């Protein structure tokens, strides 16, 4: 179509595309017509020097009228009525030439050639229909015939007039033929552009989907890599921890441990520390071994798991309003203890964010709804949110925004692996300084 048609904003219909095409080429043709009309002063000086003043005045007037039409195209009214304005201005050069023919030698005037130029030029550049091309050609022949017949003395040489009319008819046939094939070409071009735009939109949608899939695959690869590393460390860590706990338990049974308060307190501290290490190792096991036996996949009530997680995290949720919205049936299939652990982690993170944000009305909203054959869970808080530069890293192992010693950054990565082995994805959305929402889904029992 026309060069001013933006390929990224393809017109909604062929008629709209044709309208834009007409606006563009009508502007271009206006400029060309104005230049040729003014340049015709040289022809006047060569062929009819005695009529130069009045011919020049008429040329300036017609040029001004065409210029005013060109200016109107930039207005909303002109853009709306571009076709009618085009009919108006293309008739002006033909009327001007017919007047010059009438004013000079009639059928003997060389200016009839200008009429053929007008027909061929406008028919070539403007998107005229066959009917419009025929009407413009008929109008040109009519004004030429009237100019020759109404002049003083009338037609002096009929064979010359007939021959020149036939000459104009030849140009008219050319213009009509051009209009037929240019109309087909414009339709084919628009159809091709529409198809290209459709394929482009499909490619953009596919690329967007591929980017999302790539992100998920990269996340899974990172999780798998860290999981493999964790699996190799588990055996090295687990045995020494168990030996140490056994030794501490045995030491606590000795009489000297009961009689020496300092030793007793030290053993309790040591046991507490080893128990923390054992809990970390347990979390790493969940993260590293993401394919437990089928016996862990049992039906359970998700609502009950949410309530249990809320109670277990009750200490951290003091002063926080927790709203739980669930459907009537919340049966899901999975590892209930592991899902409770995921929910405890989400509650704990939300409570931490709320504490930092210091909201007057801190709240956590839990919403469960059915999504096909799965139940989707959303845990949303009105805490401090997550910064854009951190939101892509929240599931990375050992990444944390908490103070040193307040957490290892394993909770969300472990939770991601747990949800992943249930066939779902743990996702996060956030607005920094406003809210954070974690979402995951679980299968319903068939």
175-214 tens-digit pLDDT: 888 888 877 887 888 888 888 888 888 888 888 777 766 6
Angle among Cα 417, 354, 350 to the nearest 5 degrees reads 15
% of the chain with per-residue pLDDT over 90: 23
Q: Which long-range contacts (CB under 8 A, 24 or more apart) does 12-21 make?
A: 14/186, 14/187, 14/190, 17/186, 17/190, 18/127, 18/186, 19/82, 19/83, 21/127, 21/186
Question: 57-71, 249-263, 269-283: which has the highest mean pLDDT?
Answer: 57-71
Q: What mean pLDDT is predicted for residues 405-419?
A: 66
User: How much is the pLDDT for 228?
Assistant: 61
Count CA atoms closer than 13 A to 264's CA, side-chain side: 9
Distance CA 359, CA 321 (A): 11
Residue 174 has pLDDT above 50, yes or no: yes
The CA dihedral of 115, 121, 127, 132, to the nearest 10 degrees, is 10
User: How much is the pLDDT for 224?
Assistant: 57
Question: Please, what sign has the CA dihedral across residues 276, 277, 282, 283?
Answer: positive
Residue 378 has pLDDT above 90, yes or no: yes
Beta carbons of 383 and 390 less than 8 angstroms apart: no
Angle among Cα 204, 209, 211 to the nearest 5 degrees reads 95
Average pLDDT value for the chain: 82
3-state secondary structure (DSSP) of residue 387: coil
User: How much is the pLDDT for 407?
Assistant: 43
User: How much is the pLDDT for 143?
Assistant: 92
Nearest to 432 by CA among 386, 391, 390, 394: 386
More confident residue, 122 or 431: 431
User: How much is the pLDDT for 406?
Assistant: 40
Count of beta carbons in the 10 Å neighbourhood of residue 95: 15
- CA 316 from centre of chain: 42
Count of beta carbons in the 10 Å neighbourhood of residue 149: 13
Which residues lie below 8 Å from residue 154, measured CB to CB, with a gap of 6+?
Answer: 106, 148
Give me the sheet containing 435-443, strands edge to edge: 321-325, 363-371, 374-381, 435-443, 427-431
User: Sorting pLDDT into bands at 50, 70 and 90, what band is 318?
Assistant: confident
Least confident residue range of 54-68, 272-286, 296-310, 330-344: 272-286
Distance CA 347, CA 328 (A): 23
% of the chain with per-residue pLDDT over 70: 85
More confident residue, 216 or 80: 80
Nearest to 361 by CA among 398, 322, 392: 322
DSSP bridge pairs for 237:
none
User: How much is the pLDDT for 9?
Assistant: 66
Tokens representing 256? 């000297």
Q: What mean pLDDT is predicted for residues 269-293?
A: 64
Q: What mean pLDDT is predicted for residues 256-266?
A: 82
Nearest to 93 by CA among 64, 127, 124, 62: 62
Beta carbons of 156 and 107 less than 8 angstroms apart: yes
For 92-102, write each residue's pLDDT tens digit.
999 999 999 99
Tokens representing 272? 């507490």
Interaxial angle between packed helices 52-72 and 82-103, expressed in degrees from 0 to 180 and rounded to the nearest 10: 180
Q: What mean pLDDT is predicted for residues 386-397?
A: 78
Instruction: Please report where in the chains the tokens 């991601």 appear, as a residue.
Output: 416
User: How much is the pLDDT for 229?
Assistant: 63
User: How much is the pLDDT for 279?
Assistant: 65
User: Sorting pLDDT into bands at 50, 70 and 90, what band is 324?
Assistant: very high
DSSP annotation of 254 reads S
Which residues lie below 8 Å from residue 66, measured CB to CB, with a gap of 6+?
Answer: 30, 33, 34, 37, 89, 92
Distance CA 385, CA 111 (A): 80
């Amino acid at each position: 179509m026309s060069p001013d048609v933006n390929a990224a904003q393809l017109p909604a219909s062929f008629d709209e595309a044709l309208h834009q095409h007409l606006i563009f080429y009508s502007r271009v043709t206006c400029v060309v017509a104005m230049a040729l009309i003014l340049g015709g002063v040289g022809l006047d000086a060569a062929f009819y020097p005695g009529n130069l003043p009045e011919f020049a005045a008429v040329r300036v007037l017609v040029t001004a009228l065409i210029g005013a039409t060109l200016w109107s195209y930039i207005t909303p009214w002109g853009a709306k009525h571009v076709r009618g304005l085009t009919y108006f201005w293309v008739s002006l050069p033909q009327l001007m030439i017919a007047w010059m023919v009438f004013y000079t030698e009639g059928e003997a005037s060389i200016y009839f050639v200008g009429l053929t130029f007008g027909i061929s030029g406008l028919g070539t550049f403007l998107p005229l229909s066959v009917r419009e091309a025929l009407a413009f050609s008929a109008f040109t022949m009519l004004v030429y015939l009237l100019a020759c017949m109404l002049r003083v003395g009338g037609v002096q040489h009929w064979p010359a007039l007939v021959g020149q009319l036939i000459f104009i008819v030849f140009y008219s046939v050319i213009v009509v033929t051009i209009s037929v094939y240019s109309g087909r070409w414009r339709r084919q071009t628009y159809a091709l552009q529409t198809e290209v735009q459709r394929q482009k939109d499909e490619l953009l949608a596919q690329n967007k989907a591929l980017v999302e899939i790539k992100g998920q695959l990269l996340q899974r690869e990172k999780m798998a890599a860290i999981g493999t590393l964790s699996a190799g460390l588990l055996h090295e860590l687990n045995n020494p921890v168990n030996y140490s706990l056994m030794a501490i338990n045995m030491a606590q049974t000795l009489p000297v441990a009961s009689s020496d308060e300092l030793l007793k307190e030290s053993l309790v501290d040591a046991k507490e520390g080893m128990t923390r290490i054992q809990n970390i190792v347990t979390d790493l096991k969940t993260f590293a071994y993401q394919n437990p036996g089928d016996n862990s996949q049992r039906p359970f009530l998700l609502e009950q798991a949410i309530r249990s997680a809320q109670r277990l995290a009750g200490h951290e949720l003091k002063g926080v309003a927790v709203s739980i919205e669930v459907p009537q049936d919340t049966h899901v299939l999975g590892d209930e203890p592991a899902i409770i652990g995921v929910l405890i982690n989400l509650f704990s993170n939300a409570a931490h964010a709320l504490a930092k944000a210091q909201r007057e009305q801190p709240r956590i909203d839990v919403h469960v709804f059915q999504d096909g054959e799965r139940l989707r869970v959303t845990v949303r808080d009105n805490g401090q949110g997550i910064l854009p530069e951190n939101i892509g890293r929240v599931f990375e192992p050992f990444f944390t925004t908490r103070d040193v010693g307040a957490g290892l950054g394993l909770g969300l990565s472990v939770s991601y692996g747990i949800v992943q082995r249930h066939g779902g994805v743990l996702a996060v959305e956030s607005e920094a300084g406003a809210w954070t929402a974690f979402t995951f889904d679980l299968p319903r029992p068939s």
